[in-house]
Each structure stands twice: as C-alpha cells, then as structure tokens.
Amino acid sequence: MSKHRIAVLPGDGIGPEVMQEAEQVLSLLGEVDPTFQCDVTAFHWNSDYYLEHNRMMPEDGLERLKAFDAILFGAIGDSRVPDHVTVWELIMPIRKKFDQYINYRPVKQLKGIRTPFKDMNQMIDFSIIRENAEGEYSNSGGRLYEGTDRELAIQNTVMTREGIKKVSQFTFEYARSKGLKKVTSATKSNAVIHSMNFWDEVVNEVSSDYPDIEMERIYIDALAAFFVQKPQAFEVVVASNLFGDILSDLGSAVVGGLGVSPSANINPSRDYPSMFEPVHGSAPDIKGKGIANPVAQIWSAALMVEHLGRSDLHTSILQAIEDSIAAGVTTPDLGGKSSTKEVGSAIRNHLKIRI
Ligand code: ATP
Ligand code: MG
C-alpha cells in the first residue's frame, strides 16, 4: 500500500497554529486506519522566508511540489510583505502551474452553528464551483490618456470555450456523482453581453449532455439576494472567476463565517497536485493568542482526504467537527471559550469514536 505524499505549507499568522491541528487529524487517521497513510513534508515558504531570501519560495519550489499527491495550505499574509507578493509569487504560481482551474467551496451549515437567519427549518447545504483560471481576472487591458481628463481604463475579460466547457463539465459530473438534480449557473448576460452570453451558450451546450440534471440560469444580482433569502434552494452553483469569488465569500458568511469555511483548488485531470486551504487569511489580529478556529483548516484537510479517495473518512471528520460543536467546544468566533488546541483535540477524540 502506497502512502499519500502530502506537502504542507503552514504559511503565516494563524496558519501554523491551525495547521498543527489539521496535521494531527491526518496522523490520527493513519493510526486508526492502517489503509490510509500520509507522508507529510512541511515547507516553510512564508513571509519570513521572503524577508530572508527576497522570494516566496525557492527557484525550484514548483518542481519540488509537483511530486506530491496533494498540497495542504495554511494562510499567507504579513504586514511586512505587500499582499500582491504573497499572492502573485506563491498562491497564483501554484494554481497556474498545477492547472487548478476549479475552485470548490462547500456552503454547508454544520449542525450547531448559528447562521444569520432565524426560523430555519432546513439546513443549508450546497456547493460553489468557481472557474479559477481565466475570465474577469485577466491582465489584459490598460490605461489610456493617463493624467488627462480623457483618461480611461480598459479591463478585458478573457473566456475561452475550453475554459467554460471544462468548468461546466466538472460541475455536471460532480452533480451526477452526488446524485444532485439541479445545477445553477450564475450569469449576467443581460448586461455583460459578450463574455456572459458566451458563458451561457457553452454551459447550455454542456448541460444537454446531462438530461437527467436540470440547469437553471440566474442573474448574479438576483442570485446574491437568493443566497440570503432562500439558500436552501441550491444544490450546486457554477460561476465565472469574479462571480464565483464574490458568491463564495457570501456563501461563507451565510453558513457561519471564515472560521468554518474550507476550499479546494482542484486539478481534475490529476496530472498535478490539487491544493486545499481555508478561506480565511493569516488573521494577524489574533495571531499567537491561541484562539484561532481550526475547523476551516481541518475541514480543508478533510476535502483533501476525500480527493485522495476516502469520502468515508471525510464524512467521519465532518461528523467529529459537528460532535465537538454539539459538546460546546468552540472558539470565540463561534461564541465559545475554547482554544485552538482544545477544539483540535475535541475533534480528534470524537473522530476516534466515529471511525
Ligand atoms: P488576508 O489578507 O490574509 O486574506 P484578511 O484581512 O482578508 O486577511 P482574515 O485574515 O481572513 O482576513 O481575517 C478576517 C477576520 O476574521 C479577522 O478579524 C480574523 O481574526 C478573523 N478570522 C479569520 N480566520 C479566523 C479563524 N480561523 N478563527 C477565528 N477568527 C478568524
Ligand atoms: Mg482576505
């Protein structure tokens, strides 16, 4: 039996604090279930590394990561290093080099977590699949007539048939594998006439290969309102890079906030490793206080475990998280009094019982 090779990048701020808890969950899985073994290698490519070496990772950093089955990422960000450096020299190169064109975010309400809504009689449970490689986030464009009254900026959206097709196919395949009945596509083709009409057209074409799954198109403005008014109406939402980015943060707020929001950057072909990371940043305001919520990081690790073929263990980890919330062991962001370590160890204790 081969071990799963995992690259761990704890990062900055609370990253290493929550990563420690996630790593301990992985080693517990290995102790309890001999058929699931991880071989973890840590890489401390963070802002301290940058201040010492003037780069976020070594020259052969991507080459070294390539050999792994998956990457578990903490959080990156530090006031001593400009944000664009941490993003453009570490996270983006990994996403691009490893063709992680899918960003997957569960919007799932855990039992015991209060949402901003009252009188909820049905749990919120859907996913957002965001196109992660092209679209509105392109560097095509520029400024004209700089410094004059006529100055203008042009920002081009670049969507390719291939790109839209791949994210749509992934979404419909995901829906089918989970037995879902409906895919919702976020659009704005009434106003963004070139790119979003193309998006609609290609998503529609792909949907005709999946007659068993309903496809609905909703304008992004209305969709944002529905996320708040009727979040239970969704099963899986597919969105372009910008729309998906905004919807993901909205989705996270709807089900309890950053402390409990995981994400995955997926390379579906599996030619390269996928990367799993919490949605939150390095949270410098609570660094070193021992109160960061480790749930988002542990849940991200659970998504990784699922990606590695063990959806049973993913389910057990989520149940253990819910058990520890039910037992009242939560960090202050969820209204509790427990520390990062206490939450981590409660989750592991429940996990031992669940597996
Ligand atoms: P970045 O630029 O790194 O994305 P940010 O300022 O956008 O950082 P976060 O670092 O995610 O945002 O933090 C936003 C707020 O949420 C902060 O007040 C932080 O303390 C809180 N927060 C983030 N993650 C957690 C967590 N795991 N547990 C508790 N609070 C958290
Ligand atoms: Mg942020």
Residues 336-355 pLDDT 10s: 999 999 999 999 999 999 88
Q: Compute the distance from residue 210 Cα to the ligand 1 centre, in Å.
A: 39
Q: Are 14 and 339 in contact (CB under 8 A)?
A: no
* Residue located nearest, by CA, to atom 13 of ligand 1: 283
* Residue located nearest, by CA, to atom 4 of ligand 1: 281
Taking 80 as the threshold, does the pLDDT of residue 127 lie above it? yes
Each residue of 254-296: pLDDT tens digit? 998 899 999 999 999 999 999 999 999 999 999 999 999 999 9
User: How far, in Å, CA of 303 to CA of 293, rounded?
Assistant: 17
The count of other CB atoms within 10 Å of the CB of residue 54 is 8
Q: Compute the distance from residue 55 Cα to the ligand 2 centre, in Å.
A: 21
User: How far, in Å, CA of 50 to CA of 82, rounded?
Assistant: 11
Q: Compute the distance from residue 283 Cα to the ligand 1 centre, in Å.
A: 4
Q: What does the pLDDT average to over 134-144?
A: 94
ipTM entry: 0.94
Residue of 156, 20, 9 lying closest to 86 (CA atoms):
9
* Residue located nearest, by CA, to atom 22 of ligand 1: 283
* pLDDT of the residue at 2: 75
Q: What angle do CA 245, 267, 3 make, to 5 degrees?
A: 125
Taking 80 as the threshold, does the pLDDT of residue 120 lie above it? no
DSSP β-bridge partners for residue 70: 6, 274
Q: Compute the distance from residue 280 Cα to the ligand 2 centre, in Å.
A: 6
Q: Compute the distance from residue 331 Cα to the ligand 1 centre, in Å.
A: 14
The pTM for the full model equals: 0.94
Taking 90 as the threshold, does the pLDDT of residue 121 lie above it? no
Q: What does the pLDDT average to over 96-114?
A: 94
Q: Compute the distance from residue 306 Cα to the ligand 1 centre, in Å.
A: 26
**What band does 114 get if pLDDT is binned at 50, 70 and 90?**
confident
Each residue of 290-333: pLDDT tens digit? 999 999 999 999 999 999 999 999 999 999 999 999 999 999 99
**What band does 119 get if pLDDT is binned at 50, 70 and 90?**
low
Grouping H, G, I as helix, E, B as strand and the rest as coil, residue 160 is coil
Q: Compute the distance from residue 75 Cα to the ligand 2 centre, in Å.
A: 10
Q: Compute the distance from residue 226 Cα to the ligand 1 centre, in Å.
A: 25
How do strand 125-131 and strand 102-108 relate by DSSP bridges?
A: antiparallel
* pLDDT of the residue at 170: 98
Which-ligand-closest: CA of 86?
1
Q: Which two tokens stand for residue 299?
A: 């849940």
Grouping H, G, I as helix, E, B as strand and the rest as coil, residue 219 is strand
Mutate to test the pocket of ligand 1, among 280, 291, 331, 338 (most ligand atoms within 8 A of CB): 280
Q: What does the pLDDT average to over 55-83?
A: 96
Taking 80 as the threshold, does the pLDDT of residue 1 lie above it? no
Mutate to test the pocket of ligand 1, among 258, 261, 289 (most ligand atoms within 8 A of CB): 258
What percent of the chain stands above pLDDT 90? 93
* Residue located nearest, by CA, to atom 14 of ligand 1: 283
Q: What atom in ligand 1 is closest to the CA of residue 296?
A: 27
Weakest-pLDDT range from 45-54, 110-119, 205-214, 248-257: 110-119
Q: Are 322 and 111 in contact (CB under 8 A)?
A: yes
Taking 90 as the threshold, does the pLDDT of residue 116 lie above it? no
Residue of 108, 121, 103, 112 lying closest to 235 (CA atoms):
108
Q: Compute the distance from residue 204 Cα to the ligand 1 centre, in Å.
A: 37
Which-ligand-closest: CA of 293?
1
Each residue of 187-240: pLDDT tens digit? 999 999 999 999 999 999 999 999 999 999 999 999 999 999 999 999 999 999
Q: What does the pLDDT average to over 135-155?
A: 96
CB-based contacts of 62: which residues, under 8 Å, 6+ apart? 93, 94, 97, 98
* Residue located nearest, by CA, to atom 15 of ligand 1: 283
Instruction: State the average pLDDT for the chain.
Output: 96
User: What one-character-per-residue DSSP string does 305-342 give?
Assistant: HHHTT-HHHHHHHHHHHHHHHHTT---GGGT----HHH
Q: What atom in ligand 1 is closest to the CA of residue 278?
A: 27
Instruction: Name every protein residue with a CB atom under 6 angstroms from any ligand 1 atom.
Output: 14, 18, 75, 77, 258-259, 280-283, 285-286, 292-293, 296, 331, 333
Q: What atom in ligand 1 is closest to the CA of residue 285?
A: 20
**What band does 115 get if pLDDT is binned at 50, 70 and 90?**
confident
Q: What does the pLDDT average to over 168-180?
A: 97
> Residue 327 phi/psi, 5° resolution?
-80, 0
Q: Are 298 and 286 in contact (CB under 8 A)?
A: no
**What band does 139 get if pLDDT is binned at 50, 70 and 90?**
confident
Q: What atom in ligand 1 is closest to the CA of residue 295?
A: 27
Q: What does the pLDDT average to over 110-125?
A: 82
